[in-house]
Amino acid sequence: MRIAGLLTLAACLVTVPSREAIAAYTRADASPGTSGGLSVCLSLHPIDLASGNLPVLPHGAGKEWAARALHQQQPSGSVGAQPADAETQAGLLSRYRWAIEGVVGLIVIQAGVIGWLLVERRLRQRAQQSLDDALRFERTFGQVAGLLAAGPASERAVHDALQRVAQYFDAEHAAVSEPATADRPFHLAAEYVAPGSTPLALDAERRRLPEVAAILDSGGTWGGDKGAPVGKPGTTSGNIGALMASPLRAAGQTGGALIASSVNPHPDWTREHERRLDAFGEVFANVLALRRARLILHEHEAFNRAVMGAHGGEVAVFDQSGTVVAVNEAWQRAADREHGVLADAQPGTSYAGGSKARPGQRPASMVSAIASVLNGGPPVAQADVEWDVPQGRTWCEVRVRRLERPEGGAVVSHMDITARKRADLQVQQHLHEMAHLNMVSAVGELAASVAHELNQPLAAVLSNAQALRRLMNSPSADPQLMREILEDVIAQNQRAGDVIQRMRRLLKKEKGDWQGVDLNQLVRDVAHMFQGEATLGGVPVMIDLAPSLPPVQGDRVQLQQVILNLLQNATHAVLAATIRDGGRVLVSTTLDVNGVAVRVRDAGPGIATDLLDRVFDPFFTTKRQGLGLGLAISRSIVELHGGHIVARNLPAGGAEFSFTIPVEAVSA
Amino acid sequence: MVAMTSIHAHIAVVEDDAPVRRALVRVLVSAGFTVSAYGSAEEFVALTDDPSPDCLLLDLHLPRMSGLELQDRMRRVRRDVPIVFITADLDIARSDALRHRGVLCLTKPIDEQTLMEAISRVTSHAPSGEA
């Protein structure tokens, strides 16, 4: 304000154009008649500026006074041209006219300057105020942004930022609402309440808030001077006098609002304040969006962790280079173990490279399955691998699935299937033992059959020989008869030899080495050996063989066992059926694209449809006697030979069991 | 069918295996029996007339009608002919089914002495002749 006084003085100096004016000013100052007005003016300036209470002369009055002074000056000027001796007063007046005129002029000029200064001062004041306010906003905005940026996820930071906002708007409340729903237009996610105030009583305004929500939803800002404040004077309910709200927009989405609320129904809020609330709102929106995104991310992470953790096996995520980037607990445990295929497959290491201590430790099939998925092969790969650990053999099922994302990678899971494999092997082992028993039994059947087959020619040979012996003692022996008897003995001997030959063919086995087996010959031998015997219950067996078959590679005795098992089942089925003429079994062979097929058909009752897929299960049986292993063993033998065995019912009645053994392509 | 006369007992042989049947007939004939031979149970039923043979040498395992079935059938028509069963299957010869029937069963190959003893046991006719 002192500066203003000095400026006024400077203005006076500038305004006074000549040395004479300064002199007049000095003299006027000395003269008692005129000194009052001027000195008051000069002394008033600093005081007024300091107090801010301006005893401003009405502009019109000032002008009028100045004009009157000028008017008095005009006649004096014209009088001054002529000398006037008569009146001393008049003479005095005319003598000092120029001085009076000068003083009045100065006063007029000074009044103008004062008016200009007052206007200027007010403008300056306003500019200063708005500058201060802008600075205050800038400062608050910086604080809010800083708080939220430093701790976007922290409730504390949001609360503190709201406090700054409330203080900036001179409001008792500042709050962030969540996206409006039908039954809850405003639900506060965070709120600041000024000390001594009560929390925002939004419930009391429930009726009016939907309007506000609607405006916010359409992207508008609800402001104090843009329609009625939420709480009108006199109708104020709760503690809301006025309320401003700015919708929170982030990433093009509107959700929730930043609210400032004052207990005072008429706060000094302008459109500028609205815009500033919008600016704050933007910061909050971005931070809250970030917070929401982080929450979702956290949820996803928790979800992924739970999924990976819940998996019984070992799970890891690989990046495109095959480096382990994330693992579940099971994997981590396995990687920490000293033994095992995953040892040292720690996060951050290359999986395929194996550990430094044991390079190339991972089984090749695992590594290649992963490489294939990573390098654009099928999106899913699987490999069963086995290896030896000190505790014994271990099996593992490895599954690889490509990560469908731009940067690539894969998810790998290991499932320890050792227990399952061991159980499988045990069952296999048991089945093999049973198969052996079955074979022993088949050989036993064969032996019984061979005994029968051999006893017939032996009986003929013995009786013939004994008859011949008697004849030789008789003098009347007929040489012709004796020759016939000898011929029969030779023939029956030959017959016995054939039986042994056939038995040898059935039992012939090159140890550990498969041989070419003619399935036609095998069917013929088995059917002939057991034809009509007790083994087959006396049921006639018809055979219908393909004209010529390529040999299949296999174990003759085992394949014979299969044929015998099927024949036995078929004859039992025929015997179980109502006895009717023509009850018989038909065995046929054919050559098709899959190899040599052997079909055994019976005219029995067939197999119940729901049991069809169980007949090959071990211990499945419909017979009162028997273990139910014949078909299970047969299947295991057929599968060992690379073939398959199926059962079906025939449309005309009865069942058909058939097995196919592939014919190996002759390779060089 | 082979038939030879004998002043002694008349034996009928029912056996489907021709070489075995021929050999049995030869040994019985050489022992002095009168022998008639048949290839099946049906053939025996159809062709045999009175007087009944003194003894039947009957194979257990015959096509269609088995030896035991023939025995049942003969009992039903009260042709009570003594029977010696024969079989190539040792298991059947020793089976409970036969033991319960109280029948005599010989296992092939059959020694002539065993055969003669069995026949004489069931017929109480001691075979006589050159032997």
pLDDT of residue A618: 65
Give A-chain residues touching B130 at CB under 8 angstroms: 470, 473-474
A458 pLDDT more than 90: yes
A210 pLDDT more than 80: no
Distance (Å) from the alpha carbon of B12 to chain A's nearest alpha carbon: 16
Position with higher pLDDT, A260 vs A14? A260
The pLDDT-based confidence of A79 (bands split at 50, 70, 90) is very low
- Over residues A111-134, mean pLDDT: 90
Checking A166-170 for CB contacts under 8 A at 24+ apart, the result is A166/A192, A166/A194, A166/A260, A167/A140, A168/A136, A168/A137, A168/A140, A168/A276, A168/A280, A169/A244, A169/A260, A169/A262, A169/A267, A169/A269, A169/A273, A169/A277, A170/A262, A170/A267, A170/A268
- Over residues A620-626, mean pLDDT: 60
The pLDDT-based confidence of A234 (bands split at 50, 70, 90) is very low
pLDDT of residue A183: 66
pLDDT of residue A231: 38
Q: Which of A170, A274, A174 is nearest to A226 (CA)?
A: A274
> Which of B20, B30, B88 faces A467 most closely, judged by CB atoms?
B30
Run of H or E including A28: helix A19-30
Q: Which of A1-15, A380-394, A419-433 has the lowest mean pLDDT?
A: A1-15
Which chain B residue shows the shortest CA-CA distance from A491? B19
Which chain A residue shows the shortest CA-CA distance from B29? A467
Q: What is the pLDDT of residues A331-390, one digit of tens each?
A: 888 777 766 666 667 788 777 665 555 545 677 777 788 888 888 888 888 888 887 777
Task: Say whether the peptide bond before residue B51 is cis (omega within 30 degrees of 0).
Answer: yes
Give B-chain residues touching A450 at CB under 8 angstroms: none
Test the A interface: residue of B13, B25, B26, B61 with most A CBs within 10 Å: B26
Q: What is the pLDDT of residues B73-87, one digit of tens each?
A: 888 887 888 999 999
Phi, psi of A285 (to 5 degrees): -60, -45
Q: What is the pLDDT of residues A528-551, one digit of tens each?
A: 777 655 556 667 788 899 998 899
Q: Which of A165-174, A280-289, B54-63, B106-115 has the lowest mean pLDDT?
A: A280-289
pLDDT of residue A114: 93
- Residue the block writes with tokens 């028997």: A626
- Over residues A181-191, mean pLDDT: 71
Give A-chain residues touching B19 at CB under 8 angstroms: 456-457, 460, 488, 491-492, 495
The pLDDT-based confidence of A327 (bands split at 50, 70, 90) is confident
Distance (Å) from the alpha carbon of A544 to chain B's nearest alpha carbon: 22
- CB atoms A459 and B23 under 8 Å: yes
How far apart, in whole angstroms, are the C-alpha atoms of residue A633 and residue A648?
Answer: 18
Distance (Å) from the alpha carbon of A644 to chain B's nearest alpha carbon: 36
Q: Cα angle at A147 between A143 and A152, to 5 degrees?
A: 150
> Which of B27, B88, B130 faces A474 most closely, judged by CB atoms?
B130
Residue A474, exposed/middle/buried by CB under 10 A (0-12, 13-18, 19+)? Answer: exposed
Residue ranges of chain B whose CB lies within 8 Å of a chain A CB: 17, 19-20, 22-24, 26-27, 29-31, 63, 88-92, 107-112, 130-131
Distance (Å) from the alpha carbon of A608 to chain B's nearest alpha carbon: 31
- CB atoms A492 and B111 under 8 Å: no
Residues 6+ away with beta carbon under 8 Å from A285: A248, A249, A250, A256, A258
A131 pLDDT more than 70: yes
B122 HSE (CA, 13 A, CB side): 25
DSSP, residue by residue, A274-304? HHHHHHHHHHHHHHHHHHHHHHHHHHHHHHH
How far apart, in whole angstroms, are the C-alpha atoms of residue B38 and residue B11?
Answer: 11
Q: What is the identity of the amino acid at B39?
A: G
- CB atoms B30 and A460 under 8 Å: no
Give B-chain residues touching A466 at CB under 8 angstroms: 27, 111-112
Question: Are residues A492 and B54 in contact, defined by beta-carbon separation less than 8 angstroms?
Answer: no
- Between chain A and chain B, the number of residue pairs with CB atoms below 8 A apart is 86
Question: Are residues A597 and A590 in contact, defined by beta-carbon separation less than 8 angstroms?
Answer: yes
A319 pLDDT more than 80: yes
What is the percentage of chain A residues whose pLDDT exceeds 70?
69
- CB atoms A462 and B109 under 8 Å: yes
- Over residues A71-95, mean pLDDT: 58
- Over residues A27-54, mean pLDDT: 41
The DSSP code for A202 is G
A188 pLDDT more than 50: yes
Which chain B residue shows the shortest CA-CA distance from A482? B26
- Over residues A189-210, mean pLDDT: 73
Query: Over its length of 131 residues, how does chain B's per-residue pLDDT go in tens digits?
Result: 333 334 478 999 999 989 999 999 999 999 989 999 999 998 898 886 667 889 999 998 887 788 888 999 888 887 888 999 999 887 777 777 777 887 889 999 999 999 999 998 888 744 444 33
Q: What is the pLDDT of residues A479-501, one digit of tens each?
A: 899 999 999 999 999 989 888 88
> Which of A463, A466, A470 faces B130 most closely, judged by CB atoms?
A470
Q: What is the pLDDT of residues A549-561, one digit of tens each?
A: 899 988 887 888 8
> Which of A452, A470, A492 faces B31 most closely, judged by CB atoms?
A470
A470 pLDDT more than 70: yes
Task: Say whether the peptide bond before residue B53 is cis (omega within 30 degrees of 0).
Answer: no
Distance (Å) from the alpha carbon of A500 to chain B's nearest alpha carbon: 16
Residue A660, classed as helix, strand or coil, is strand
- Over residues A578-594, mean pLDDT: 78
Distance (Å) from the alpha carbon of A453 to chain B's nearest alpha carbon: 8
Question: Are residues B122 and B95 in contact, defined by beta-carbon separation less than 8 angstroms?
Answer: no
pLDDT of residue A391: 73
The pLDDT-based confidence of A254 (bands split at 50, 70, 90) is low
How far is residue A572 from each of residues A422, A533, A577, A623, A646, measured CA to CA in Å? 36, 13, 9, 9, 18
Question: Are residues A553 and A664 in contact, defined by beta-carbon separation less than 8 angstroms?
Answer: yes
Test the B interface: residue of A456, A463, A493, A536 with most B CBs within 10 Å: A463
Which chain B residue shows the shortest CA-CA distance from A532? B63
List beta partners, residue A516: A553
- Over residues A197-208, mean pLDDT: 66
Give B-chain residues touching A471 at CB under 8 angstroms: 30
Position with higher pLDDT, A405 vs B102? A405
pLDDT of residue A155: 81
Q: What is the pLDDT of residues A97-115, one digit of tens each?
A: 888 889 999 999 999 999 9
> Which of B30, B63, B112 faces A471 most closely, judged by CB atoms?
B30
Which chain B residue shows the shortest CA-CA distance from A471? B30
A61 pLDDT more than 60: no
A202 pLDDT more than 60: yes
Which chain A residue shows the shortest CA-CA distance from B110? A459
Give A-chain residues touching B24 at CB under 8 angstroms: 459, 463
Q: Which of A522, A504, A417, A402 is nearest to A454 (CA)?
A: A504
pLDDT, averaged across chain B: 82
